[in-house]
Amino acid sequence: MLRPPASIIIAGTGSYLPEKVVTNDDMARLVETSDEWIRTRTGIRERHFAAEGETTSDMATAAANKAIAAAGIAREEIDLIVVATMTPDMPFPSTACLVQAKVGLGNVTAFDVQAACSGYVYALNIASSMLQSGAYKNALVIGAEKTSPILDFQDRTTCVLFGDGASAAVLSTSAQPGVGILGSIGGADGSNPELLYQPGGGTAIPASVDSIDARQHFLKMNGKEIFKLAVRVMEQASLQILDQHGLTTKDVALFIPHQANMRIIESLAKRMKVPLERFHNNLDRCGNTSAASVGIALDEAFRQGRIQSGDLVLLVAFGAGLTWGASLVKWH
């Protein structure tokens, strides 16, 4: 008989950024832009781009190995892998299957989640529910993204915003009640998919010479609309999950928001009347790493000592879809 655990904790985190750093000045050599424009409009100073041949699953594997080491468990103890990505190595098989082999795990349940930049929070939600059922003991949750191949380096409004990277967390069942992932929520509104999308390469517009000539295999975005929606949905998701647990923003030690634009984070902090210091950010060094972003920020905040035992941490994200999600974690 399955026995639900008392709680699900984040037993260890890890992240990986590729070696190659691309500064705003480097971007200004590719498109008509400037360090000043990018910095003041987004907070980004530089981002990392994966090497040629370095895949999403390679970056995911590097982050996963660090998370497993931090959790201090044997890889044989992992029985579930969920990878959030919108830039898989290939349409199929899933990146999670490739990671299973590369990390050297057993023949465990492995699948991908596609919720764009909300992917890490969606994956945490799914994996923690599967652990809560009692059917699994230790899950590897990964957010990994190689955005650089889908960026249009003829479109200055999008190509300066994104970067590559990966993050991972080991979720484990625990007998200690009242700690770990207290809850997660998610939402989606698919009525305007073209606000942020990659039109070509799927079944709607299969890859062809014409689709490539029309640059349809690159990311397209209505930045202004996404900006407004991002602030609204992240505020709503944060307040909703706090309300569900009878808590307020004052109870939260640290907010880990999706890293898309510093001005989005500033607007969110202002609307929620929370000092900006309680929002972790690394946009200046990473840009927007999509599904990897929340996990990279979480790993960084923990390793910098910004998260202590007993702290309440709120993860919140939005992404293409539009999708959004939030997770509330009481650090064990």
Cβ–Cβ under 8 Å, residues 27 and 190: no
Residues listed for the chain: 332
Q: If binding means CB under 6 A, how many residues of this protein chain bind ligand ACO?
A: 24
Q: Is 196 in the site for ligand ACO (CB under 6 A)?
A: yes
Q: Is 188 in the site for ligand ACO (CB under 6 A)?
A: no
Instruction: Closer to ligand ACO by CB, 75 or 156: give it.
Output: 156
Instruction: Closer to ligand ACO by CB, 7 or 259: give it.
Output: 259
Min CB(44)–ligand ACO separation in Å: 9
- Of residues 260 through 299, those in contact with ligand ACO by CB under 6 A are 260-261, 264, 288, 290
Q: Which candidate, 235, 225, 205, 226, places its Cα nearest to that of 217?
A: 205
Measured CA to CA, the distance from residue 233 to residue 213 in angstroms comes to 35
Helix count and strand count (H, E) for the chain: 11, 13
DSSP category for residue 194: G
Can 258 be counted among the known catalytic residues?
Answer: yes
Can 288 be counted among the known catalytic residues?
Answer: yes
Q: Is 223 in the site for ligand ACO (CB under 6 A)?
A: yes
Q: Is 55 in the site for ligand ACO (CB under 6 A)?
A: no
Contact stretch for ligand ACO (CB under 6 A) within 9-17, 31-39, 47-55, 168-176? 31-39
Q: How far apart are the first and last CA of the chain?
A: 27
Measured CA to CA, the distance from residue 265 to residue 194 in angstroms comes to 23
Q: Report the amino acid identity of residue 283.
A: L
Measured from the Cβ of residue 128, the count of other Cβ atoms closer than 10 Å reads 26
Determine the angle formed by the axes of helices 293-303 and 56-71, rounding to 10 degrees. Answer: 30
Q: Is 230 in the site for ligand ACO (CB under 6 A)?
A: yes
Interface with ligand ACO (CB under 6 A), residue from 39, 45, 75, 156 = 156
Q: Is 70 in the site for ligand ACO (CB under 6 A)?
A: no
Cβ–Cβ under 8 Å, residues 156 and 33: yes
Site residues (vs ligand ACO, CB under 6 A)? 33, 37-38, 41-42, 116-117, 156-157, 160, 196, 221, 223-224, 226-227, 230, 260-261, 264, 288, 290, 319-320
Report, as residue numbers or ranges, the catalytic residues. 117, 258, 288
